[in-house]
Amino acid sequence: MKISVVIPVFREKGIAALLEDLLRQIHIEEAGTDTEILVVDGAPEADTLTRIGDTPVLRLSSPPGRGVQLNHGAAAAGGDVLLFLHADTLLPANAFTLIRQTLRDTRLSGGAFSLRYEPRTPGLSFIAALANLRSRRTRVPYGDQAIFVRRSVFEELNGFAPIPIMEDLEFMTRLRRQGHNIRILAMPVRTSARRQLREGILRCTLRNLCLRLFYHCGVPPKMLASLYRRHEG
């Protein structure tokens, strides 16, 4: 079972550390099992790709927009399973083994990991706990939980919608409504809380909640993206 790790980036300064962690984990965990990494840069100057150096990954340029970049990477990927990983998220130990074990169950179309913010503070841990409770109840995890899906299912659903925001929520909601089952794994990814710490935990959380509420109320994603940028710290 080949896994393709698709990483969308946009002027990402920390890409080298992420790739180092991924390659170390692949080497330790898999001993040559089929896995590939694709980095999809949405910046016009593709500056993140220049930071990769000679790291053994597939480098792709794409028009900006996370959904567009994810689709671009998936189209170039050769894996049976697509793992969509944010550039500020680190996988748990044995992540690739856990994914393969999970998808041995043919009733499952995909899944995601639980969420943990780094650094760990009481406020961020509380927010992560609420997010994990929500994703388990709704079966709609967010992109920063490292969503993975069978390639055949991804293609059946025509991939992510080319929208500027909420592409993860839209895709996983569509997956659920089409009757596909997923599993939320107990092991957490470690996602950087840099945005929450920069903007303020309360402000960032309330903003995100409002954006999701507006999305569910039918506000167009283009307008939501404009609001997100306007209120981003």
Residues 217 and 118 in one domain: no
In whole angstroms, give the CA distance from residue 149 to residue 181: 10
Contact 2, 81 (CB under 8 A): yes
For residues 9-27, average pLDDT: 91
Residues 148 and 61 in one domain: yes
Residues 230 and 180 in one domain: no
Q: What pLDDT does 233 receive?
A: 41
> In Å, what is the CA distance from 138 to each residue of 60, 76, 180, 183, 184?
33, 31, 13, 11, 11
Q: What pLDDT does 229 receive?
A: 63
> In Å, what is the CA distance from 6 to each residue of 3, 131, 179?
10, 23, 25
Total domains present in the chain = 2
3-state helix vs strand vs coil in the chain, percent to 5: 45, 20, 30
Q: What pLDDT does 175 receive?
A: 97
Cβ contacts of residue 7 below 8 Å, gap of 6+? 15, 18, 37, 38, 39, 40, 73, 85, 86, 87
Residues 165 and 200 in one domain: no
Residues 84 and 12 in one domain: yes
In whole angstroms, give the CA distance from residue 61 to residue 43: 8
Q: What pLDDT does 125 receive?
A: 94
The 10s digit of each residue's pLDDT in 103-157 is: 999 999 999 999 999 999 999 999 999 999 999 999 999 999 999 999 999 999 9
The 10s digit of each residue's pLDDT in 144-197 is: 999 999 999 999 999 999 988 899 999 999 999 999 999 999 999 999 988 888
The 10s digit of each residue's pLDDT in 62-96 is: 999 999 999 999 999 999 999 999 999 999 989 99
Contact 134, 126 (CB under 8 A): no
In the block, residue with structure tokens 């994810």 = 70
Residues 216 and 186 in one domain: no
Residues 152 and 218 in one domain: no
Q: Which domain holds residue 163?
A: 3-192
For residues 40-44, average pLDDT: 95
Contact 94, 29 (CB under 8 A): yes
Residues 96 and 176 in one domain: yes
Residues 49 and 14 in one domain: yes
Helix (H, G, I), strand (E, B) or coil at 51: coil
In the sheet where 181-192 sits, what is the strand order? 58-61, 35-41, 3-9, 81-84, 147-150, 108-118, 181-192, 89-90
pTM of the model: 0.92
**Confidence category of residue 227, pLDDT binned at 50, 70, 90:** low
Domain CATH code at residue 56: 3.90.550.10
Residue type, 62: S
Residues 101 and 28 in one domain: yes
Residue 57 predicted with pLDDT over 80: yes
Q: What pLDDT does 232 receive?
A: 47
Residue type, 138: T
Q: What pLDDT does 223 receive?
A: 80
Which of the two residues, 33 and 169, has the higher pLDDT score?
A: 169
Among 143, 178, 176, 152, smallest CA distance to 70 is for 143
Specify the DSSP element, H or E, that contains 82: strand 81-84
Dihedral (Cα; 148, 100, 110, 150), 10-degree rounding: 80
Q: What pLDDT does 33 receive?
A: 65
Contact 66, 6 (CB under 8 A): no
Contact 9, 40 (CB under 8 A): yes
Q: What pLDDT does 35 receive?
A: 92
Residues 17 and 88 in one domain: yes
Residues 169 and 223 in one domain: no
